[in-house]
Amino acid sequence: MLRDEIAQALTMAQKAQDKPRVSTLRLIMAAVKDRDIANRGAGKEAVADDELLSILAKMIKQREESAKLYDEGNRPELAGQERAEIEIIRGFLPKQLDEAEMRKAVAAVIAEAGASGVKDMGKVMGLLKERFAGQMDFSKANGIVKELLQ
């Protein structure tokens, strides 16, 4: 289970006194606990691996946006810190699909779903998120789906 893998990595980082890694892993664990609490309040189960992958993808996206803002604000040291956190988080995600693999996966899902137009976009995106959580950038996939359905 991915949660256990992250907890083990945190323990190892603490033993190695790797402060940046410890800090990032604690942020991940805090985000997972927040989602667990929210799920408990909604009567759902604890965070499963697929939901954990979406949390990690969201954390990466937030850090990419922050790094961009720091670069624009002429703060390269802070941008570097954000990028270092991104690399730590990416270590827990499965291999990311490149654009060609993404196009192939989108085409397969469109064919399987029998999607014929933009009106079926929600169904296609839902299937993609279910099958490729953490493996693709869904904002890019959204553009590919739109392109292929028109």
What is the mean pLDDT of the segment spanning 78-103?
A: 91
pLDDT > 80? residue 133? no
Same domain membership, residue 112 and residue 76: no
Q: Which of 50, 72, 90 is the last residue of a domain?
A: 90
Query: What domain range is 112 assigned to?
Result: 99-149
The whole-chain average pLDDT of the chain stands at: 90
Same domain membership, residue 80 and residue 121: no
What is the mean pLDDT of the segment spanning 90-98?
A: 87
Please report, for the domain that includes residue 103, its CATH number: 1.10.10.410
pLDDT tens figures, 21-50: 999 999 999 999 999 999 888 888 888 888
Q: Which residue has the higher pLDDT, 57 or 72?
A: 72
Q: What is the DSSP code string of the chain?
A: -HHHHHHHHHHHHHHTT-HHHHHHHHHHHHHHHHHHHHHHHTTPPSPPHHHHHHHHHHHHHHHHHHHHHHHHTT-HHHHHHHHHHHHHHHTTSPPPP-HHHHHHHHHHHHHHHT--SGGGHHHHHHHHHHHSTTTS-HHHHHHHHHHHH-
